[in-house]
Structure 1
Amino acid sequence: MVSLAAVVATPTTVLAATSTIGRTWPIAEPDALSEIEGQALRVPDMTTAFGPRGRWSAMKAASLGIARADRTRTVVPFYILDQDIRLPEGKLLYAKGFSFNPLAYVSLPQRLIVVHPRDLPWALRTARPADFILLAAGEPGDADAITLGERHGRAMFLLEERVKARLGLTVAPVIIAQEGQKLVLTEVGVIEADGAKAMRKAPR
């Protein structure tokens, strides 16, 4: 006779391992992880297909000059509508040509720090955790934004031509921050001394 204590002490995993309740069928669907891994292996290598990333048109950054002196200026990024904005029923809400300042409605929570690749160490020292680092076009042989981001463990962004034009950028390094309904652009000058470049301390 099996005692109650012996039944209670029996691990449920042992009972489950030796018992089958109802009919069973093998799993017909493929393993999801195996499917993902298989699809990933079939994706062509981008470098093989399109050449080195440095030659991709999508990896081309806008060019900027070098800031030779400290300078601060302000920009109001007015936007002009290039088409009419209408309500669903057709009523005109804003006409083409209407101008407004987006900063009157939204806030830029982080600064934008624009540098050439050679000044990236300075940008990494200067940037706050939430700041965006944008790379202007560098010299031939400079690492691309993806490689630099992987190397430093921080996302890097390319400076696009439309952003350059929108903000009126001409030189780098420059720190862009919102103050009220305008953007303050702080250009940080570079001092050439005995062939060695020294960067002025930027505001934090």
Structure 2
Amino acid sequence: MARSEDMGRNLGVAGATYAIAEPDALSEIEARAKEVNWEERFNEKKMKQAVASYRPSGLRRLPRATTTRTRAVEMTYTLSADIPDGQGGVLYPRGYTFNPLQYVSLPNTLVIIDAEDAEQVAWFRSSEYANDPKAFLLLTGGSYSSLIDILKRPVYYADANLIERLKVRSTPAIAIQKGSMMEVQEIAIPSKK
């Protein structure tokens, strides 16, 4: 054990020493960063075009509703694979059936439209849902980016799995939770053509 008076004092070199062979990590990062054309990488116009033209794969276009109808949709789900418990066992086995709405509530209203149909967009704009922050606007077609600019609110795409689970057959449609079921209403809006 070193004595306190030896602490902080140069005790000399014991053995061979060598120069550091690796390049400085910060210098390498700086050199690589200088090689990148940052204006090209973060070209705002290209980025906006990429965002505006985005369409998810598997988007399912639906016909326009010709009659207004409401139906209850059972949300019971059957597991297609085992859910492991993290300790080598199975928490929920494949084939286990449950209704998620018996465990959680969905406080939001889902509004589903085709944004390529100007009359559906106009219907939404004049609806009670247009200014409701609890209403999620989901698209089966059209540009979410353009609609965000027009409506000044969040807009999302409705993927095919959601459309299938809610059994939505036409748009516009409204989906809200009613107990352990989802109530889906497809709304016929008069055509102005």
Calculate the TM-score normalised by the size of structure 1: 0.64
1:16-54 C-alpha deviation (Å, 9 max, x unpaired): xxxxxxxxxxxxxxxxxxxxxxx9745344874897656
Aligned to 1:137: 141
Unaligned runs of 5+ in 2: 1-36
Mapped contact 1:60–1:158 kept (Cα < 8 A)? no
Indicate how the Cα distance of structure 1 residues 45 and 166 shifts in structure 2: closer, same or farther if over 3 A, else same.
Answer: farther
Aligned to 2:161: 162
Aligned to 2:124: 123
Q: Give the residue type in structure 2 aligned to 1:181.
A: S
- Please state how far the C-alpha of 1:60 moved relative to its aligned partner: 6.8
The 2-side partners of 1:162 and 1:63 are apart by 13
1:18-167 equivalence runs, <5 A: 41=39, 43-45=41-43, 48=46, 56-58=54-56, 61-117=59-115, 118=118, 119-126=120-127, 127=129, 128-138=132-142, 144-167=143-166
Indicate how the Cα distance of structure 1 residues 113 and 97 shifts in structure 2: closer, same or farther if over 3 A, else same.
Answer: same
**What is the number of residues matched between the two proteins?**
152
SS in 1 for 2:145: helix
Identity across aligned pairs (percent)? 26
Unaligned runs of 5+ in 1: 1-38, 139-143, 198-204
Aligned to 1:189: 188
Indicate how the Cα distance of structure 1 residues 75 and 153 shifts in structure 2: closer, same or farther if over 3 A, else same.
Answer: same
Aligned to 2:24: none
1:126-156 C-alpha deviation (Å, 9 max, x unpaired): 2122100111124xxxxx1012102321011
Mapped contact 2:52–2:146 kept (Cα < 8 A)? no
The 2-side partners of 1:182 and 1:40 are apart by 51
- Please state how far the C-alpha of 1:89 moved relative to its aligned partner: 2.1
Q: Comparing 151-160 with 40-49, which one deviates more in the overlay? A: 40-49
Q: Give the residue type in structure 2 aligned to 1:104.
A: Q
The 2-side partners of 1:145 and 1:151 are apart by 10
Indicate how the Cα distance of structure 1 residues 113 and 159 shifts in structure 2: closer, same or farther if over 3 A, else same.
Answer: same
Q: Give the residue type in structure 2 aligned to 1:107.
A: S
Mapped contact 2:72–2:183 kept (Cα < 8 A)? yes
SS in 2 for 1:171: coil
Calculate the TM-score normalised by the size of structure 2: 0.68
SS in 1 for 2:183: strand
Q: Give the residue type in structure 2 aligned to 1:97.
A: G
